[in-house]
Amino acid sequence: YDYVVEHDLSRITDYDSYRRNPTEPKIKGQDYEFLRWAMAESQRRQPLNAFRRWLRRQWSRARRATPAKVMRKLGLARSG
């Protein structure tokens, strides 16, 4: 904070500007359009990661299905 005030980098002009508003620029000299693009790009879903998530879900579902469960669901289990 002291550095920003000392080098006149703050865009805050009144008390209302101190609130936490994520869309309001607070520091001079920043390319906010580029920062918005970089944030959107870093949070974009990647096809490889989406495939990995899908594969992990399928694997966990398959591990829950045991032969005994399948036989019981199909009604082929022997009654003891």
Tens-binned pLDDT, residue by residue, of the chain (80 aa): 788 878 888 877 777 777 767 677 777 888 888 988 998 888 888 888 889 989 898 888 777 777 888 888 888 877 55
pLDDT on residue 6: 86
Alpha carbon 46 to its chain centroid, in Å, reads: 12
State how far the Cα of 40 lies from the Cα of 57, in Å rounded to an integer: 26
Q: What ranges do the domains of the chain cover?
A: 2-42
pLDDT on residue 9: 82
Model pTM score: 0.41
pLDDT on residue 49: 86
pLDDT on residue 80: 52
pLDDT on residue 79: 59
